[in-house]
């Protein structure tokens, strides 16, 4: 693939293999993403997948969101609000990445809280104490552990 190019020298359409090479994910991952509704493209006369160049950005966005800790289904929902074949506008991108930034921030704060509690407990040899914050974290709901 990557033969027909635009005047800028960039290929107009991409095969799965092209996308795999350039995005850093495998072909099977692209197939998988397609079954999960995360990416889409069209087929050529021979039933092979062809993608517009915007797929590359889309895959990059998916990977970033994964790094931020989102599940593929959350990512799919977020991507639903973006145009699929066309590159997203600045506004589109800001809205989505803003939400993701917040999710990331929440995760960071949770982990930081855990780290600080761990620091306290490393100091005090804790975990034997009935009121150790680490033993009954506020973010775990349901039947809480009894006094140990």
Which residues bind to DNA, rule: CB under 7 A? 1, 3, 15-18, 20, 25-29, 31-33, 44-49, 66, 71-73
Q: Tell whether residue 140 is a contact of its own copies (CB under 8 A).
A: yes
By CB under 8 A, which span of 28-36, 37-45, 58-66, 70-78 interacts with its own copies?
58-66
d(CA 104, CA 102): 5
Long-range contacts of 1-7 (CB under 8 A, 24+ apart): none
Site string for its own copies, 21-50 (x = CB under 8 A): xxxx--------------------------
Per-residue burial over 95-114, b if 16 or more Cβ lie within 10 Å, else e, is ebbeebeeebeeeeeeeeee
The residue with tokens 């509704």 is: 37
Identify the DSSP state of 147.
P
Among 17, 27, 74, 135, binds its own copies (CB under 8 A): 135
- Find which of its own copies, DNA, none residue 108 binds, CB within 5 to 8 Å per kind: its own copies
Q: Tell whether residue 129 is a contact of its own copies (CB under 8 A).
A: no
């Amino acid at each position: 693939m990557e033969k027909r190019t635009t005047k800028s020298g960039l290929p107009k359409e991409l095969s799965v293999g092209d996308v795999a090479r350039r995005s850093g994910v495998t072909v099977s991952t692209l197939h998988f993403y397609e079954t999960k509704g995360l990416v889409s493209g069209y087929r050529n006369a021979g039933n092979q997948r062809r993608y517009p160049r915007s797929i590359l950005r889309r895959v990059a966005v998916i990977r970033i969101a994964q790094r931020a800790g989102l599940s593929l289904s959350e990512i799919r929902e977020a991507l639903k609000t973006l145009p699929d074949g066309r590159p997203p506008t600045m506004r589109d991108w800001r809205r989505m990445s803003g939400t993701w930034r917040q999710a990331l921030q929440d995760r960071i704060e949770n982990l930081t809280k855990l780290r600080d509690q761990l620091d306290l407990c490393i100091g005090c040899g804790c975990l034997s104490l009935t009121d150790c914050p680490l033993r009954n974290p506020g973010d775990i709901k349901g039947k809480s552990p009894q006094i140990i």
